[in-house]
Structure 1
Amino acid sequence: MNLIARTPKQAIEQFEPALHEAGLSEDINIEVSTKSPGTLEEQYRQWLNAGRSSPDILTMDVGWSIPFIRRGQLLNLSDALPAEHVQTLENEYNAESIDSSRGRNGNIFGVPLIMDVRGMWYRRDLAREAGYDPDAENWGTEPKSWEEFSQIAADIQEQQGLQYGLTMPFELSQTITCCTFNSIMSQWGGAYFGGREHLFGPVGDRPITIDEEQVLSALRMLRTFMWGHEDQHSLDNDSFVGGIVPSDVLGWRYTKDLDAFLNGNSFAYTVGNPAFAKLASSGDNFGDAVNEKLGLMPKPYGIQQSDSTYEGVGGTMSPLAGYNLSVNPNSNKQDAALEVLQTVMKDDFLVKWFNLSGYLPAKPKLLQSEAVKNHSLFGQYMDTFSVMADNAMPRPVTPIYFQESKVISQEVHNVVSQSKAPKKGMADAKEQLAQIEDSYGQ
């Protein structure tokens, strides 16, 4: 049986043994193929459009599963899996991860393998040296406001002589739409299309709210952090400290922003997931001192969720990323594929897979299990990841998501780079999004 995966090589080599250890039939053998994430979606479209029977199991990004479901190209697991397994998916898994593979009628088309939610890494050692006590002050579980965080970051930046207070990926790319700005906008109570209820459509019949004041506040905060209060479109509130984020991040994407943090040039880094903790613990970085140096906090908030216009928006918010396993409806080995998915759902496999790969299981209860919290590297961060898993925000995925993402990322980048004023940039974005929605919705 063939399966496509995007996973570290060492973990891939242990994937099949871990499944057999968890009870997969010994006569089921798995051939795991790897593809670049940048080409995977296009390759799947070609194969499924051609009716290919292989691969049998598809590793689907939470950001583009729904278009395949709309085209009828994935097996309906609500019908194919035993009822008790469907109930487990509905009742025990992270709801946002499940919804990323849900059809219009509520059926499920994917089993979450990897849940990627993110806090904010920070230098715990530098905070202590600057007079803060992250443990006593519950930095790991009690979200800070962006206002307070900016003051802390600026203070430590100055005391420790750091180049930056905070780094983040903000290169002109889909990363802005799905992740960096999606979370910051949500933390301010803003939404692209009127809140959670419209995330996945209906296209052409949902409000476009990217120009609302909450979104503009998030953009003004970013302008403040990058350009300071001299910027005419910065926040009109001096308690948000400017100059903590380098404008260079406008060209950074998961490389230089991370390097600046690992090299000791920044106090904090926005992309806090276990993969980066593993990198930070390497001999080239923090090594054996990683537990002392590396702290994780929930992402800050712009407004409290109770003050938000939209339900479930505001407060600490993480962008949702990750991968779900779906079955090729043309597969000649569907029974074996479904047995693999049922085995993947077992707690003992998910814990084993977490230990092998560092990827978070999409079952919230497992994040607080003894087997996970005792992990020598990741265990200390599980309370924070639990907070973020409870506050995950998916991207607005529909069949026209990639078209709309280009518009959103371009106009947001225009505003943050000072090429356009916030109101102008978001008005232009709304106009373009309305054209796309109207065109597709007709």
Structure 2
Amino acid sequence: MADSSPRTDLKRRQFIEAAGATGVTALLAGCGGDGGGGTPTDGDGGSDGSGGGTTTDTKTSESFTLEYVDVDGDRAKKHFTPVIEELNGKYDADISLRFREIPYGNMKKQLLTRVGGGNAPDVAAIDQIWLGSFYESGKLMSFSDMKSEVNFEDYFAGFKPAVQQEGNLVGFPITTDVRGMYWHKDMVEEAGFDPASPPETWSEFYELGKQVHNPPETYGTGIIVASGIWSVPLFSTGGQFLSADGTTPKFNSEAGYQAASFYDAIYNTEDFGPPEPIFGDHSMPREFIKGTYATTPVYGSWLDFFARQEGMSNEEIKQQFGFGLTPHPEGGQPATMNGGFAWAAFNTTERPDIVRDFMKRISTKEFNRKIAKVSGRIPTRQSLLDASDVWENILWSDTIKGMLEHGGTRPVNNWSTVSSALNPELQRVAFDRAEPEQALQNAAEKFNSQV
């Protein structure tokens, strides 16, 4: 049986990279020990009820402020206040909630600095690709003993690897997204293709792309050159980024070379992308919406957010655009990549019993239903596939439900190292400055030198 307590050994180089230069001193200063936080005794409670708490009552007359940190987005304090009220009814303590929002771009560095400085919040919504960095701190609380109580098997298979570290369950998936292909229906139809039936294979996609390519007014496609985007071509060729323990590159393989050729084809050999490869370009979704690109083969299901900002209604979005799986190579497999956040808690909390109870309650099926419904985001539980109230506000809901079974996630261990090694080499392929084989070998060598 795996150890139920998260590891406390620290990979110094990974922490320096994850925290950034400004956070290194504070981060390294707080790495001695796990700061306490025992495991409470579990009692009554069901696996999916909204009450869900099974921690034995601890009678005190103390006050406790549970600090919860989230990105500024759809989740709000009002969603969690009823849970705090339930806890107040159970514990002889004055429990309150301090809800803090941090913009996404600053969140990882701020949290890592606080964790290293011994000032971690009690609970945080963490981008799943950050979980490895936080796990290395030894400060994440383990919930392995709660798997059956929260019905962990109900989560889609694609989300489970990201929240489990060395046999420890260190997070609960909240909501997710999928990466797929968008296209302008009118452009596709004018080129003689069925706007309701997108291409399934790369060769069909290349043919469509060249037919709708009309520079400089419209380019056949627009795709960002980045390791996260590249995950979908990689998964579709049967490839993977790293070994299971996150220490050995696997992307420098025949599957990886084939996946990198997708960029090479779009920007060079088939030549139906823009003249300059796109990377780090946050204007890309708006450029697609206004028609600069006829298709975009790997983009997140949140593109509708940008369309609404442009004044489009849901009906207009579905009328103008199509959405489906990104084409895969001949002999390959349908694939998508799931992103999203996970709830995690820190074992430095003053009241681990209350925090564990809080986590159990917000990780139930019914709370997942509530958060997905109010946010309009995709739920992470299979049992909510038929929850009409959740899916009614999600565009292309039937398509997305089918895509979830093909979902995969990026590795959470050493992801920042993978990304920093791959991004410049994938860009070299797109700029026709390196063949896929040499570029990926270079990236593997860089990764190995940093881990």
Structure 1 stretch displaced more, 58-67 or 330-339: 330-339
Label 1:74 to 1:345 Cα distance change in 2 as closer, same or farther (>3 A): same
Label 1:132 to 1:366 Cα distance change in 2 as closer, same or farther (>3 A): farther
Note the C-alpha offset of 1:44.
Answer: 2.2
Find the counterpart in structure 2 of residue 346 from structure 1: 364
Find the counterpart in structure 1 of residue 39 from structure 2: none
Q: Work out which of the two has the higher radius of gyration on C-alpha atoms and give 1 or 2.
A: 2
* Equivalent position SS for 1:354: helix
Find the counterpart in structure 2 of residue 389 from structure 1: 404
Note the C-alpha offset of 1:57.
Answer: 0.3
TM-score by length of 2: 0.75
Whether 1:67 and 2:122 are equivalent positions in the alignment is: no
TM-score by length of 1: 0.77
Whether 1:96 and 2:158 are equivalent positions in the alignment is: yes
Whether 1:15 and 2:79 are equivalent positions in the alignment is: yes
Match of 2:303 among 276, 286, 311: 276
Whether 1:5 and 2:70 are equivalent positions in the alignment is: yes
Alignment of 1:131-210 (within 5 A): 131-135=192-196, 137=197, 139=198, 144-157=200-213, 163-170=218-225, 176-177=226-227, 179-193=228-242, 198-201=243-246, 203=247, 206=248, 208-210=249-251
Supply the RMSD in Å over aligned alpha carbons. Answer: 2.9
CA offset digits 1:213-242 (Å, max 9, x no partner)? 322222233122112x3xxxxxxxxxxxx2
Q: 2:184·2:320 contact (CA, 8 Å) conserved in 1?
A: yes
Find the counterpart in structure 2 of residue 35 from structure 1: 102
Label 1:37 to 1:148 Cα distance change in 2 as closer, same or farther (>3 A): same
Note the C-alpha offset of 1:403.
Answer: 2.8
Which amino acid in the other structure matches residue 302 of structure 1? P
Alignment of 1:194-273 (within 5 A): 198-201=243-246, 203=247, 206=248, 208-227=249-268, 229=269, 242-253=270-281, 255-273=282-300
The one of the two structures with greater contact order (alpha-carbon pairs below 8 A, sep at least 6) is: 1
Find the counterpart in structure 2 of residue 298 from structure 1: 325
* Equivalent position SS for 1:249: coil
Aligned length in residues: 382
Whether 1:120 and 2:181 are equivalent positions in the alignment is: yes
Q: 2:239·2:255 contact (CA, 8 Å) conserved in 1?
A: yes
Unaligned runs of at least 5 residues, structure 2: 1-65
Note the C-alpha offset of 1:426.
Answer: 2.2
* Equivalent position SS for 1:167: coil
- d(CA) in 2 for partners of 1:151, 1:45: 47
* Equivalent position SS for 1:84: coil
Unaligned runs of at least 5 residues, structure 1: 171-175, 230-241, 305-313
Note the C-alpha offset of 1:382.
Answer: 1.9
Note the C-alpha offset of 1:145.
Answer: 0.9
Whether 1:364 and 2:382 are equivalent positions in the alignment is: yes
* Equivalent position SS for 1:321: coil
* Equivalent position SS for 2:360: helix
Q: 1:115·1:362 contact (CA, 8 Å) conserved in 2?
A: yes
Find the counterpart in structure 1 of residue 21 from structure 2: none
Label 1:55 to 1:365 Cα distance change in 2 as closer, same or farther (>3 A): same
Label 1:155 to 1:374 Cα distance change in 2 as closer, same or farther (>3 A): same
Note the C-alpha offset of 1:408.
Answer: 1.5
CA offset digits 1:239-285 (Å, max 9, x no partner)? xxx232214333443x2211211112222224543422133134534
Label 1:124 to 1:31 Cα distance change in 2 as closer, same or farther (>3 A): farther
Find the counterpart in structure 2 of residue 310 from structure 1: none
Q: 2:72·2:102 contact (CA, 8 Å) conserved in 1?
A: no
Label 1:286 to 1:152 Cα distance change in 2 as closer, same or farther (>3 A): farther
Label 1:348 to 1:131 Cα distance change in 2 as closer, same or farther (>3 A): farther
Note the C-alpha offset of 1:2.
Answer: 1.3
Q: 2:326·2:336 contact (CA, 8 Å) conserved in 1?
A: yes
Whether 1:329 and 2:347 are equivalent positions in the alignment is: yes
Label 1:243 to 1:284 Cα distance change in 2 as closer, same or farther (>3 A): farther
- d(CA) in 1 for partners of 2:412, 2:381: 22
Match of 1:402 among 408, 413, 416: 416
Find the counterpart in structure 1 of residue 447 from structure 2: 433
Label 1:252 to 1:60 Cα distance change in 2 as closer, same or farther (>3 A): closer
Whether 1:50 and 2:50 are equivalent positions in the alignment is: no
Note the C-alpha offset of 1:355.
Answer: 2.9
Which amino acid in the other structure matches residue 125 of structure 2? T
- d(CA) in 1 for partners of 2:87, 2:193: 50
* Equivalent position SS for 1:402: helix
Label 1:364 to 1:129 Cα distance change in 2 as closer, same or farther (>3 A): farther
Label 1:200 to 1:293 Cα distance change in 2 as closer, same or farther (>3 A): farther
Note the C-alpha offset of 1:130.
Answer: 4.6
- d(CA) in 1 for partners of 2:422, 2:130: 17
Which amino acid in the other structure matches residue 410 of structure 1? P
Note the C-alpha offset of 1:19.
Answer: 5.4
- d(CA) in 2 for partners of 1:162, 1:123: 14
Larger helix share, 1 or 2: 1
- d(CA) in 2 for partners of 1:294, 1:181: 23
